[in-house]
Amino acid sequence: MGTADTEPPAVRRRSRLGRWVVAHPPAAYVVLAYVLSWGYWVPLALAGQTVEAGVGRPSQLPGLLGPLVAAVVVTALVDGRAGLADLGRRMTRWRVGWWWLSVVAVLAVGAVGLVVVGGPPDAADLTLYSGIDAAAGPLLTVVLALVVNGLGEETGWRGFLADRLLRRHGLTATALLVAAVWAPWHAPLFVVMASFSGFTVPEVLGWVIGLTAGSVVLTWLYRGSAGSILLVAVWHIAFNLTSGTPGTAGTVAAISSTVVMVAAVVVVVADRRRRR
């Protein structure tokens, strides 16, 4: 009796592509996330478009939804309604106790950095976000960033990919595996976004190291909060606001990034000791 004869009818009815997705959910997610995001960003890059902070058009934001859409599609194909319901619960899980202090901590680091440099020349620069019109105002800007950038990325990278990898790997290995595909996913943004396009080779390497450290911290937060996608999305945006806006450029961003790198080292060491 062949393998196909022993499979459930619902599985046998799937197309070859559908069966591959079911057999390899993480790989299917990564491919789809790239296709969706790059499908929007690459045409912008080829057209010579540049995304500026505080300017709404052109915007990189639609491409940031690629990981979320990919996570939803692959979850629906692999786990059906039950999987989608679970994903939705994790996207809105806010009862995570003291883990919310991590968001306060990253904002506090940014505040300390601002004190060190004497504050930004213009307070409005603190919430100027790439791809969002400054006319939206600080509150709406943060909300849009959280929904599109925070949940758009974290539903996929942590809520889907890290969540599945953690079932078979430890925290550190999972974080590094996610970083290995998360970092190259940003590649078109180095052409499209003004804040990235001027990076030198050493700055790109520093960015990769920072992203890898962020992957470690975010994976630790995700696992510790019992899978709260909402928490890691809020943390992600809090970090972006303290390191990636015109008001926090330079010294403030360097302080925030350094603290995250140190935190990542602490997490890796603690994870190694725990596994021993």
Q: Is the pLDDT of residue 16 over 90?
A: no
Q: Is the pLDDT of residue 230 over 80?
A: yes
DSSP state letters, the chain: --HHHHS-HHHHTS-HHHHHHHH-HHHHHHHHHHHHHHHHHHHHHHTT--B-BT--SS-SHHHHTHHHHHHHHHHHHHHHHHHHHHHHHHHT----GGGGHHHHHHHHHHHHHHHHHT--SSGGGGG--BTS-GGGHHHHHHHHIIIIIIIHHHHHIIIIIIHHHTTTS-HHHHHHHHHHHHHHHTTTHHHHBHHHHT--HHHHHHHHHHHHHHHHHHHHHHHHTTS-HHHHHHHHHHHHHHHSSGGGTTHHHHHHHHHHHHHHHHHHHHHHHHH-
Residue-wise pLDDT for 160-208, tens only, equals 999 999 999 999 999 999 999 999 999 999 999 998 988 899 999 999 9
Q: Which residue has the higher pLDDT, 124 or 166?
A: 166
Question: First-to-last CA distance in the chain?
Answer: 44
Residue-wise pLDDT for 63-112, tens only, equals 999 999 999 999 999 999 999 999 999 999 999 999 999 999 999 999 99
Q: Tell me the longest C-alpha to C-alpha distance in the chain.
A: 75
pLDDT at position 3, please?
Answer: 45
pLDDT at position 57, please?
Answer: 94
* Closest to 218 in 3D by CA, of 204, 205, 231: 231
Q: Given pLDDT bands bounded at 50, 70 and 90, which one contains residue 52?
A: very high
Q: How far is CA 252 from CA 20, 105, 198, 209, in A?
A: 46, 14, 19, 17
The pTM for the full model equals 0.91
Mean of per-residue pLDDT scores for the chain: 92
If one counts every other C-beta atom within 10 angstroms of the C-beta of residue 136, the result is 16
Q: Is the pLDDT of residue 276 over 90?
A: no
Q: Is the pLDDT of residue 7 over 70?
A: no
